[in-house]
Each structure stands twice: as structure tokens, then as C-alpha cells.
Amino acid sequence: MTQNARLACSCGKVHLAVEKEPIISTECYCTSCRTAGARLQALPSAQRVLDANGGTRFVLYRKDRIRFTQGTEHLREFRLKPAAGTRRVVATCCNTPVFLEFENGHWLSLYANLWPEGTLPSLDLRTMTGDLPDRAALSGDVPSGTMATLSFYARLLAAWIAMGFKSPKVTVVNGEIHA
């Protein structure tokens, strides 16, 4: 697992630091992540977001273990719909997706493309595979739940308990983008 990693967008203008262990490393196959991933990776100069099977790789961290150290003026939010309970945040300097945040959540789902090559925490599980048209294409190397798995929720709950049931606000985002 990762300890005290320094992460950055693809052009290096946005930097963040993560401390201690992540909550979990996962691939999400929900329709929302697949739709947003396709739209975000279509932005000019953007990196791939979706894997070959349409999943989005995330590493989830407690909000109190993430610090934005440089370039927050480039961060903009993207929502699939104006009233969506999730927002994806992009570094507009190079259109690198940075994180996904659930409304009132105590964690951020950091996009895997932030990790330097060879340093991404190993995959713990796949989630929401029931939204895929063909689940048979997924390898059996890690657990793959048709919905979010019990262990996924257990890890989120344990992190929230450790945070004293707090859900810090992320205030470093400066406006919106439309993809």
C-alpha cells in the first residue's frame, strides 16, 4: 500500500499529497463512472480514464489524509447532471481527472492516473459490475461484486468511525467544466 505519496496531474501543475494507507483500491463499473469516464477522456489532451472493459480505477482516501499542495486554481468540477450527488474534479491545465467526491462523503476517490508508473496500490476489488453488459470479460483475480460489496462498505465505515464521523468539505475547486 501507499504511504505518504506525492501525486500530480499529467502536466505537473496540480500537486497533492496522500498520507498513510488508502481505504481501498478499486475499479468501478457503474453506469455513471463509465459515462463520465468516456466524457472526461474525450477532453483535449486528456488521458484514458476507462480500462478495456469500461471500468474506472480509483484509490479511496480519507479526506483528512489528502492535502492539495499546488495548482488548486486549475481544479474545476464536472457533474453528469446539475443536481448529481457526485462531482468529478478535473485539473483543467491538462484535463487530468483528479477525484470523484460523493456529496457529504468522508473520502475522495482519487483517479489512478495520478500515481507515477509502478506506484499505484494493487487492486483490492471491482465494484458495480452488474452494470456491465458482459461481466464474463472480467478476470477473476480480485473479488467482483455486482453491486458495492460488503467489504467495500465495511472499509468505508471503519474509515468514517476513525474520523469521528466527520465529513470535511473540499473547498479547493474553482468553478465548473462541461464535458
Quick: pLDDT tens for 79-130: 999 999 999 999 999 999 999 999 999 999 999 999 999 999 999 999 898 8
Give the CA-trace dihedral at 176, 27, 52, 92, to 10 degrees: 20
Q: What does pTM read for this prediction?
A: 0.93
Quick: pLDDT tens for 125-169: 998 988 888 887 888 888 887 877 788 899 999 999 999 999 999
The strand pairing partners of 144, in sequence order, are 126
Quick: pLDDT tens for 7-38: 999 999 999 999 999 999 999 999 999 999 99
Q: Which residue has the higher pLDDT, 55 or 144?
A: 55
